[in-house]
């Protein structure tokens, strides 16, 4: 724990000269969404491997850069790429960047991911606002000694996704004339995709989309007192009776098609946060 604390402070010390606002907005970019970082003006790009103790994603589909700059009237700190549990990282390591963002003053976190749809009404390319989540990873980033400086031992999860931020996202949706989905995201460890029986089970326990990320970051963010809004891009739709392969190339191609809609949504969301 002492080591973890020291590591957080070393990363914070390294990054703090680049972040000027005490109320910067954090953004985590998921699979197939790296170009969102291109919208950031006056940007400084820092590769994760240069930041002390940052986990470096081993997945080719994730670039690993922290980008600081301005977008939508805010200073933003963008995590372009993330580490996953399935890569072998502990959830403490997976959530390390989110905790550093908190130390940098980030209090609003926008999280994105690519997910498999479980609601049969969903279509590939849909964007889902995450209203709640289910953690089936079988682990928790807060396991072990609690960091009392960061948050309490037993943080509430009654509102992991801020209702106020959801309303702001809905306003952005209306202004842009988009139709977003609203649903529950379930996190599984991966990296194998779900069987038909698992898909049926996940739907049965109340999930609308499934993926291999996000939930650990949200738990760490809520623990540290951040407000979170989450968007899933539905890359494929999994129907137990007619389950088809979901190759990563197709997942990325579908997400790319939704990317400009998501970028516009986040930009409008940021602008509305000012008002
Ligand atoms: N399952 C789990 N994770 C995913 C999927 C899926 O079908 N699609 C994109 N990420």
We find that the CATH architecture of domain 2-273 is 3-Layer(aba) Sandwich (3.40)
Token duo for residue 62: 């994730």
Overall average pLDDT of the 215-224 stretch: 98
Q: Which residue has the tokens 């540290």?
A: 224
Q: How far is the CA of 210 from the centre of ligand 1 (A)?
A: 6
Testing ligand 1's pocket by substitution, the residue of 59, 61, 116, 192 carrying the most ligand atoms inside 8 A of its CB is 116
Phi and psi at residue 83, to the nearest 5°: -95, 150
Q: What pLDDT does 191 receive?
A: 96
pLDDT confidence band for 226 (50 / 70 / 90): very high
How much distance in Å is there from the Cα of 65 to the middle of ligand 1? 23
Report pLDDT digits (tens) over 148-184.
989 999 999 999 999 999 999 999 999 999 999 999 9
Quick check: 172 and 268 in contact, CB under 8 A? yes
Give the pLDDT confidence of 1-54 residue by residue, as tens digits: 668 889 999 999 999 988 887 788 999 998 777 778 889 999 999 999 999 999
- Please, are residues 104 and 16 in contact by the beta-carbon 8 Å criterion? yes
Q: Model-level pTM?
A: 0.95
Query: Is 196:221 a contact under the CB 8 Å cutoff?
Result: no
pLDDT tens for 97-136 read: 999 999 999 999 999 999 999 999 999 999 999 999 999 9
Structure tokens at 45: 């790009």
For residue 16, cis peptide bond before it (omega within 30 degrees of 0): no
**DSSP three-state, residue 66:** strand
Mutation choice for ligand 1 from 117, 210, 234, 249, CB with most ligand atoms inside 8 A: 210
Question: In the structure, which protein residues have their CB atom closer than 6 angstroms to any atom of ligand 1?
Answer: 114-116, 193-194, 210-212, 235-236, 238, 246, 251
* Minimum CA distance residue for ligand 1 atom 6: 116
């Amino acid at each position: 724990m002492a080591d973890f604390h020291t590591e957080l402070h070393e990363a914070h010390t390294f990054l703090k000269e680049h972040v000027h606002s005490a109320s910067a907005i954090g953004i985590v970019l998921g699979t197939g969404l790296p170009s969102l970082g291109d919208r950031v003006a006056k940007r400084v790009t820092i590769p994760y491997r240069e930041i002390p103790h940052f986990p470096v994603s081993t997945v080719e589909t994730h670039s690993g850069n922290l980008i600081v700059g301005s977008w939508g009237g805010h200073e933003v700190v963008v995590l372009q790429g993330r580490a996953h549990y399935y890569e072998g990282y502990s959830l403490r390591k997976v959530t390390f960047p989110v905790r550093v963002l908190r130390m940098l003053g980030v209090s609003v976190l926008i999280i994105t991911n690519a997910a498999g749809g479980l609601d049969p009404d969903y279509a590939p390319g849909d964007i889902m606002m995450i209203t709640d989540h289910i953690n089936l990873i079988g682990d928790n980033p807060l396991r072990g000694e609690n960091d009392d400086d960061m948050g309490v031992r037993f943080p509430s999860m009654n509102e992991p996704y801020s209702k106020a931020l959801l309303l702001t996202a809905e306003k952005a949706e209306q202004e842009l004339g988009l139709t977003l989905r609203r649903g529950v995201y379930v996190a599984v460890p991966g990296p194998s995709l779900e069987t038909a029986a698992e898909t049926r089970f996940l739907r049965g326990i109340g999930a609308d989309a499934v993926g291999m990320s996000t939930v650990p970051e949200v738990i760490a963010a809520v623990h540290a007192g951040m407000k979170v809004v989450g968007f899933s891009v539905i890359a494929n739709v999994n129907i137990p009776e007619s389950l088809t392969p979901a190759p990563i190339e197709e997942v990325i191609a579908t997400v790319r098609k939704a990317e400009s809609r998501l970028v516009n949504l986040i930009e409008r969301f940021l602008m509305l946060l000012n008002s």
